[in-house]
Amino acid sequence: MKCIFGIGNPGNRYQNTRHNIGFILLDIFASKLKLNFKPANSDFYFAEGEIESNPFIFVKPTTYVNKSGIAAHQCLSYNNIDVDNLLVLVDDVNLIFPEIRLRKSGGDGGHNGLNSIIYHLGSENFPRLRFGIGTENFAEDLSDYVLSGFSQIELNTINKLSDFMFILNRSFILHGYDFMLSEYSRIKNLENKKNRTSDINE
């Protein structure tokens, strides 16, 4: 079983905030698969299903970002999921919106949610999909910025990217991180070729 874990804060107050991109993406994925989230007997909401007989679980913690590791540990322990079968969806203020990057393992990069997951799992060896929320004109307090809401234009951009991110999510569920990375590279290469062709035609 694969676990797709979105970092975010629970409650309407934090809906559509930058720190909640993990929740936003999981809601999009669940909608595409016609799944509904329900409360677990632990510190998270979950939705589960199968893609081509490959089981998965989507997880949205109720612990708030800084204690995300509690919910991650609960889910992996209960479902007997190895850490390399965990994909964390996380915001990254060091990436300009809407850049997307994949990473197979590593440190927390200053993100409290990742720090908590690493601490509670006792391992850095889990994949993560990092979604850029940064800006070139960053001028406010970091905590205020990450808790600010996406604009409607930004939400529209996220929706436009949702098919690409769903392909990555599906690839991870079917074949794991390495296959997801190859799909990421394939799609990016196609986009680059398309852009170069467009520049030549102009």
Q: In angstroms, rounded to a whole number, what is the distance separating the alpha carbons of residues 55 and 57?
A: 7
Domain 2-201: CATH class, spelled out: alpha beta
pLDDT in tens, 166-199: 999 999 999 999 999 999 999 999 988 877 765 5
pLDDT in tens, 32-90: 999 999 999 999 999 999 999 999 999 999 999 999 999 999 999 999 999 999 999 99
Marked catalytic residue, from 19, 73, 111, 120: 19
Q: Where are the domains of the chain?
A: 2-201
Q: What is the pLDDT of residue 198?
A: 58
Report field, pTM of the whole predicted structure over 0.85? yes
Cα separation of 33 and 25, whole Å?
A: 12
Query: Is 175 a known active-site residue?
Result: no
Distance CA 166, CA 125 (A): 22
Does the pLDDT at position 200 exceed 80?
no
